[in-house]
Structures are given as structure tokens and as C-alpha cells.
Structure 1
Amino acid sequence: MISAATPDVATAVARLRALLGDRLHEPGDSGFATTTRLWNGAVERTPALVAPCLNADEVADAVRIAARCHLPLSVRSGGHDWAGRALREGGLVLDLTGMRAVRVDPDAATVTIGGGATAAEMLAAARPYDLVVPTGTVGDVGIAGLTLAGGYGPLCGRFGLTLDNLLGAEVVLADGRRVTADARHDAELYWALRGGGGNVGVVTELRYRAHRLPGVLAGMIMFALAEAPAVLRGYGALVAEAPDELTVMTGFLPGPAGEPVIFICPFYSGPDLDAGLPWMDRLRALGTPLVDQINPMPYADAMRMFDGGMVDGNHYLLRTRWLPALTDGAVDTLVAAARQVSSPFSAVAVHHFHGAATRVRLADTAFGLRTDHLMTEIIAAWAPGEPAGPHREWADRTSAALAPLALPGGYPNLLAPEETDRVRLAYGANWARLRRAKRHYDPRDLITAVPTLPPSGH
């Protein structure tokens, strides 16, 4: 393992300085704080060095230097991993935020992006051609990190997870080799990249299947907290019969009066948007809307709904559970969490997994759950300077209450680093194969990503 030898930081600095010049950052210099700043201000990790790379050749050279100098690696692209795994304590951070090029081939209906591109940048480039690639719900998220662990999002029912649309990738392996991974080249690496969390290499470029989608019928409906039990029960019944074209989020957001509100966020992506109107009427009828903003719009515009909802620099702690359905017990637990929320910044989101995403065979990608379910995201958020204890307790209490109602495991992108048993359960039948891939491609455990997969053991 990489930790068996003492890191030679001085030699790494000399070699990386020759490669990158003033772009290399060390603790204390003017660029270090900027390149180690993450969305979650609670993360306190100090890497030894940050190497902003502008192309795959630089990434490959930096990886070889790290291996020779026994420096563990992590990768920063979007910087939105809440647990801060982009920053490896005492290690070398490969900062890919300078690799953000997006190329669209409208004839082939493909989009190719650099390893540091965000979802919003990818969608903006594809928009003139009425093309989309399925994304998550926040535009600032790095698309590479989203893809490599999953990619729940508003087009899940029609087009699958983000990873289901990955056609191929350019990868720098732990020994510095640059390889192509797709269905015809290194199919095992391609398999592991789709859901394995990025532990098997540094992904410098990704190529996606794009879909023609001029617009969606989408927006936000909000109800008072008092209506939450009825709204959630109605939501659970409705999504159980929703067509592929309709994917619906729900949950609780901070309200203007200090009390959370329950929200419903539908995306209808069928070719005839008018066919989605009756579904919108059914959602409105779940209660008495405080806010009712449903309109046809380009998908890229609809993605802006959650921009700014989670403020960069606030402190965050996330917990997650996979629910097979919204049972009465699950409804009661979620409503209690909203009523007992410890901070006006905290939220709960329930993501809808169905349709096309369920028709991918479990063995075809590393992602470990392909049955209909609801992914629950418990988001504790508080201002810097506040004690973390009450917020952690709220999130942990909610997660524990949902545990008896949940499926094993959980979404790897949201599991905490210490939840190693749940990481294993998240991959289910794919775990052993993913472990073999990790040992094959990174036998010295040079690369850390989401979730952490040690090269030997459990």
C-alpha cells in the first residue's frame, strides 16, 4: 500500500514545480486556500500539495511523481463531495477544475467533457442543439464525480442515471498510463467506472450519449408543513404509477417564516409536454399549494431551481437511506424530522428512482441497486461557528429511525467515510468484482475517491 513508505514531499515539490511552475500550491502560499476550498466549509483537511492540471499529460506526469514519492492522491473537480474526499490529508490533490472543455457532436448525439466540467457547463454547451445529458439537481456539481458514483436526477425515469449514459472515458491509471475505457476497450475498467466511485483511476475526459429534449414541464409546488403527512402519502401513491417520462422529487426546504415547507418538484420529459398536465394537476391536488410554479422550460433552466439553496461555505453533514416505498412509518419519520429540524438551513430531499434506470441489468454496471426505490437525502446545514452537535444528532436520529424501513446500503456518493459496512452493502452482488478491479488497477491504494475501497480486506 502507498502508506507503507514515508512520503517524500520535498522531491515531489521539486518534480511538480518543474512540471507545473507557479501553478503548484503548497500550504501557506496565496493559491493554496483557493484550491482547497470546498462547498462544505466543515471540511478541515490539509493536503501536502495541490497540482492544478490543464491536460491529461500533466495528470499522468503528476500521478507518476506521486507514485514515486509515495504520496497518496485525491482528485478535485467540482468540489461538491460533502465529506471532503477531494482533499486527502497529507497527500497530493490533482485539481482538474482547469479541464472544463465541452465538445458537442450533434450528428452523433454525444457530448464530451473534461474532468473538471460542471453539469451547468455541459448543459449550456448542449442546449443550442436541443440535446441533454441526464444530470443531478445542482448545476455547480462536477459531472465526473456525479457520474462515477451514480447520478440520480430529474431524467432518471426516461434516460437512466448519469452513469447509464457514459459511453466511454479517458483515464490515467495509478501507474501513470493513459487508457481508454469503453465497451470495446478495457471493458472491465469501463464497468468499474460506472458506479464504482472513481477509485480505479483519474478520469480526465468523459463521453456521453445525449438525448434530444427541447424542453420539460417542470417547477416547484410547495405546501405548508401541516399538510406534509397527506402530501407525502399522496406522493408515494402517485410515483408508484408514474410513467418513465415523469420523475418527481419531494422533501422539505426552509420556509420564509422559519418553518420548513414540503415541496414537490416534478419533471415531465415526454415529447408532448401537454400530456404531463394531468399529472401536474394531481400533484397540486395533494394539498393547498403555497407556491405553484409549473411551466414548460428548457432543461438547463429547470436545473437552476436549486441553485443557491445550499450556500457554499456553510457547514454540512449528510445522511442517506434507500427506501423501497413511502410507508406510513417512513412518512411519520420524515415529517418528524422536518418538525424537529435543528437549523433553518437544513433540508430533506427524496429522489425518485424508477423507469429506465431499473431496466439496466445489475451486473452491467458497478451500481448496486436497480429496483424501484426512493433515495432519501438528509442534509444538516449550519452556519460556521455554530456547534455541530445538535445538527449531527438531528441527522443521525433521522437516519436511524429510517434504517428499519430501508434497503441495505445507501447511495455511495452520500455515505460517510466511516460507514464502511454500508458501502459494502451498497454494491451488493457487485462488491467482490469491484474489489478485484480496485486491486487490479490500483494495487497500492494510491487513489482515494467515493466511496473509499481499500485494496484488501472486507
Structure 2
Amino acid sequence: MQHDPVTRLLNRDGEPIEVETINEFLGDLAGRAIQPRDADYDTARRIWNGAIDRYPGLVVRCLGTADVIHAVRFARAKDLQVSVRGGGHNVAGRALCDGGMVIDLSWMRAVMVDPQTRVIEVQGGATLGDLDRETHLYGLAVPTGVVSKTGVAGLTLGGGVGWLVRKYGLSCDNVVSFEVVTAEGQLLTASREENPDLFWALRGGGGNFGIVTRFRFRAQPIATVLGGMIVHPRERAGEVLRFYRDFMAQAPEDLTAYAGMVTSPDGVPVIAIICCWSGPMSEGERVLEPLRAFGPPLADVVQPMPFPAMQQLLDPAFPDGSYNYWKASFVPRLTDEVADLLVEHGNRIRSPMSAVVIEFYGGAPGRVGPSESAFAQRRAEYNIGIIAQWLDPAESAEHIQWARTFYDALEPHSSGDHFLNFQSEMADEVVRRSFGENYSRLVEVKRKYDPTNFFSLNQNIRPAEAA
């Protein structure tokens, strides 16, 4: 959306904050604050998704937790709207705001590994690539996502699904504790022992309850995986999806595999299966043999690789500055009718960068009860991701309409749940429905830790709602 640039830091009533007041705040900041007059302002106000065009009044790049607390307290005192930026993609653009303050953690990227306890400390601005780079030195991996430039914080707070999900569960299932700056600017630890209600809410409840400046994860002994892509002609998409469905229903949990309707680098529509086997290599070769033999495929590049290489496999498909609009729905079963619908709408893709992604989750996520963490979608078998991506802003309406039409057609087959991290926009009622019976408990936690809804630029849970 085009709008006039904001050139001043404003409070929530639209009144400008005095320069002297801002300078006083800057005097106690160890990091750096970027204002509209600064030469690098346009860079600071941009995120990976080029479709997001917002003009904050102040971007505060924090060097550590003390800076985050300082920023929160200043924003409260001056009644500023606040958005929080971690280290990664943020497809919905909630990391930015117009006229207010962006608390930017992207300089806080440290990762500390304890190889004896296999506990990993990660600052809130780290990416999956930062995390993998350090853990791999010790033959360890934390279950996270599928693209190395994704931010650890946003991924984990929304649940977190990736190449190890069927074996080790969601990213939020592997958190030991959180270091949190609350809406009052207080520093808390959230774990099973300390502030357990907040610990419960942060595991899937999004950015509603505070700014997580440090995560402590439990890592797994994984160094090398059997992974890669198997590519088939698009005209065989229906057959491939049915085979994928039947194969994965019997596959060991060492295997995570997703299907995708994509466009090859030479511009040919194809359907691909991307797989990651995290068990013994010899067993993986045996288990994957039927999947690799089916077709036969146009290409098979499955091979042993370091886990960080698996994590980087899809990075080129999501270049910085591309325009993105995403939708997603959970479906309980990949029926023939759903498969046909996916093929029909997948074949209507008009951008070679767009894709339809079919993610099967059966395994460890479902062994956690829906009420054991805020992430309630534990019984969902498949997530269908509708990814519209393009480069020319003049084409935006066309590609967004494709995604919305596809989403509407899929809704009658949906479980009623939605993966909130995978959404460019979502109605409040859909947010409420996606948390299911956990929603009322989330409202109570919100009332306790953020009663004024200071953190509101998220899939918002309002403290004033009836619990």
C-alpha cells in the first residue's frame, strides 16, 4: 500500500516526540538508533518481504538485553507503538510499524553451545544459519525450520516446523527456557519451574507476551543427513501426490519429506519431493528406495550432506526483496479430492517464484497434547502452504488474488486450524479458532503479563477479550 512517509517519531495519538527527548534516550543506548533523516534509514526499514513498505519513526538496533529493556521503558513512558524485529523473514511484516519504534534484535545473534549438556543458548536476533553454524561443530542440531535465513525467534514462538519435526517435534517443543523482557520492562525467565504459565504461552503463542532476548534449546545428535530433491513432471502431479501420501503414511519418523509444486530453474513447471532422513545412512538408503524409484523421476539429487547444507537447500527460492503473500491451512487428510484441488490451483500459478507446499507432520508433534503448550494444532497431519512470490510490484494484485482464491477453495477441506507463522494476513476470528481451547488460557496469560496490549503487532490476543 502506498502512503506518505513518516518523518518523525510519533506517539499513539500522532503527536511528535521532541528531539531533546529522543537524544536523552539515545544517550543511554549501547546499540544504534536509526531515524528517518539517517542515510541508512531506507535499509533499516526494509525486511526480506519487499511487499512491506512502512516508515517507523525510530529503529533501535539493540546490542543486548539491557538495550531492549531501555527501549521498552522509553516506549511505555512516551506511549509509542512498538514492533519487534528478530533476525529473519517475517512474511506478514509485523516487525515494522509506521511512526512508532522498531525494537530490532538483528544485531543480537550470539549462539553458545554446551556440548556436555547439549543445551544451546541463542540470542533473539539469530537466524537458523547462525544456530546451525555453531551447533554443527559439535555434531548437534536443534529442530528448527527449512530455510537458513529464517529467524529463530519468530519461528519458535509460532511453533516451528522443519526437517526434524517428525522425529523431534516442533522447535517450541525443544525449548528449555526463555529470557523475556516484559511489557513493563522487567526481565524474567520462563521455564517449567519459573513462570510456567508464561513458558506455556511462549511455546506457540507468538509475540504477544514479551520480547524473548535469549532462548535455551535442547539439541539433538545430528551431523549428517540423507537429503535432497526428487523431481517429476508437473503433468504427473496427481500421481506423485497420491504416492507421496501413501508412502509417508508408513514412513519411519526419521524421514521428513515435503512435496511442492514449483518451477524449475529453466522455467518448467514440476512437482518435487524434498526429503531429509536423519537416521542411519544405510537404513535411509533402503527406506527411500521406493520413493526414489517411483516414476521414474526427471531428477534425483538425494545424497548424504551436512545438516546445515540441508537447511540451506531452499535458500535460493526466497531471495531478499521479493514480493510475498502467503496463506496456509491444515487439512486432516490428503484425500484424492484435496490432491486434485491442489493440482488444479497449482497449475494456475502465474509467477515462476510461486509454489504450493504440502507438509506432512505425522509423528512427534502429535504425541504432545494440544493443551501442553499454546500450539494447539497437534492433530493436524498436513499443512498446505500457498506461497505467492513475484518481483514486479505491478503484478501484485494478480498473484495475491491467486493465493486468496486457492485458500478459499481449500477451506471446506480444512480442519479449521491454521499455521499462524505461514500467514500474510488473518482475521481475528481465525486466530482465535486456531488456538482452539487454548485461547481462553492465552487471554489470561496476556492479562497477567501485558494487560495494556503493549505488544499488539502480532497475531494479537487482546487482554480485554472474554476468556
**TM-score > 0.5, shorter chain as reference:** yes
Name the structure 1 match of 2:232: 223
Name the structure 2 match of 1:13: 22
Name the structure 2 match of 1:259: 268
CA 135–361 in structure 1, closer or farther in 2 if over 3 Å, else same: same
Name the structure 1 match of 2:349: 341
Q: Deviations over 1:405-424 (max 9, x none)?
A: 11113001123444221111
Shift of 1:22: 8.2
Name the structure 2 match of 1:443: 451
Name the structure 2 match of 1:236: 245
- Any idea what SS the aligned residue of 2:334 has? coil
After TM superposition, which residue ranges in structure 1, 4 or more long, deviate above 4 angstroms?
A: 2-8
Stretch deviating more after TM superposition (333-342 or 317-326): 333-342
- The answer to which structure, 1 or 2, has the higher relative contact order (CA under 8 A, 6+ apart) is 1
Q: Distance in 2 between the 1:119 and 1:4 partners?
A: 34
- Any idea what SS the aligned residue of 2:285 has? helix
CA contact (8 A) 2:29 2:70 kept: no
- Any idea what SS the aligned residue of 1:98 has? coil
Structure 2 residue aligned with 1:53, among 62, 68, 78? 62
Q: Distance in 2 between the 1:256 and 1:202 partners?
A: 39
Shift of 1:359: 0.7
Name the structure 1 match of 2:71: 62
CA contact (8 A) 2:111 2:130 kept: yes
Q: Deviations over 1:125-148 (max 9, x none)?
A: 011111100110000011011000
Name the amino acid aligned to 1:263. A
Name the amino acid aligned to 2:338. A
CA 12–365 in structure 1, closer or farther in 2 if over 3 Å, else same: farther
User: Does 1:354 pair with 2:362?
Assistant: yes
Structure 2 residue aligned with 1:205, among 214, 218, 222? 214
Name the amino acid aligned to 2:368. V
Structure 1 residue aligned with 2:152, among 143, 162, 170? 143
Q: Distance in 1 between the 2:398 and 2:361 partners?
A: 31
Aligned residue-pair number:
456
Structure 2 residue aligned with 1:422, among 402, 423, 430? 430
Name the structure 2 match of 1:392: 400
CA contact (8 A) 2:46 2:53 kept: no
Q: Deviations over 1:167-187 (max 9, x none)?
A: 101110000001111111100
Q: Distance in 1 between the 2:458 and 2:139 partners?
A: 32
Q: Identity of counterpart residues, as a percentage?
A: 38
Shift of 1:12: 5.3
Name the amino acid aligned to 1:412. L
CA contact (8 A) 1:52 1:96 kept: yes
Name the amino acid aligned to 1:44. D
CA 234–3 in structure 1, closer or farther in 2 if over 3 Å, else same: farther
Equivalent residues in 2 for 1:317-328 (5 A)?
317-328=325-336
Name the structure 2 match of 1:310: 318
Name the structure 1 match of 2:373: 365
Q: Deviations over 1:35-89 (max 9, x none)?
A: 2211110101111211010010111011000000000211111241111000022
CA contact (8 A) 1:7 1:71 kept: no
User: Does 1:100 pair with 2:109?
Assistant: yes
Stretch deviating more after TM superposition (282-291 or 173-182): 282-291
Stretch deviating more after TM superposition (26-35 or 115-124): 26-35
CA contact (8 A) 2:332 2:381 kept: yes
Q: Deviations over 1:2-38 (max 9, x none)?
A: 9875665326523332223782111231122222211
Structure 2 residue aligned with 1:195, among 204, 212, 217? 204
Name the structure 2 match of 1:454: 462
- Any idea what SS the aligned residue of 2:161 has? coil
Stretch deviating more after TM superposition (163-172 or 334-343): 334-343
Q: Distance in 1 between the 2:221 and 2:395 partners?
A: 47
Stretch deviating more after TM superposition (296-305 or 27-36): 27-36
Q: Distance in 1 between the 2:76 and 2:84 partners?
A: 15
- Any idea what SS the aligned residue of 1:386 has? helix
CA contact (8 A) 1:149 1:450 kept: no
Name the amino acid aligned to 1:336. E
Stretch deviating more after TM superposition (102-111 or 243-252): 243-252
Name the structure 2 match of 1:290: 298
Q: Deviations over 1:227-277 (max 9, x none)?
A: 11000011111112222111111111212443321010111112x221122
Structure 2 residue aligned with 1:173, among 182, 196, 210? 182
CA contact (8 A) 2:11 2:78 kept: no
Q: Distance in 2 between the 1:399 and 1:204 partners?
A: 35
User: Does 1:118 pair with 2:136?
Assistant: no
Q: Distance in 2 between the 1:436 and 1:251 partners?
A: 39
Q: Distance in 1 between the 2:245 and 2:458 partners?
A: 30
CA 112–22 in structure 1, closer or farther in 2 if over 3 Å, else same: closer
Name the structure 2 match of 1:164: 173
Name the structure 2 match of 1:87: 96
CA contact (8 A) 2:327 2:403 kept: yes
Q: Deviations over 1:373-394 (max 9, x none)?
A: 1111111111133231110111
User: Does 1:407 pair with 2:415?
Assistant: yes
CA 335–29 in structure 1, closer or farther in 2 if over 3 Å, else same: same
CA contact (8 A) 2:91 2:423 kept: no
Q: Distance in 2 between the 1:257 and 1:340 partners?
A: 18
Q: Distance in 2 between the 1:210 and 1:81 partners?
A: 24
Name the amino acid aligned to 2:216. R
Give the alignment's Cα RMSD to 1 decimal. Answer: 1.8
User: Does 1:433 pair with 2:435?
Assistant: no
Name the structure 2 match of 1:75: 84
CA contact (8 A) 1:345 1:380 kept: yes
CA contact (8 A) 1:230 1:287 kept: no
User: Does 1:248 pair with 2:248?
Assistant: no
Name the amino acid aligned to 1:153. G
CA 188–436 in structure 1, closer or farther in 2 if over 3 Å, else same: same
CA contact (8 A) 1:60 1:176 kept: yes
TM-score, normalised to structure 2, is 0.94
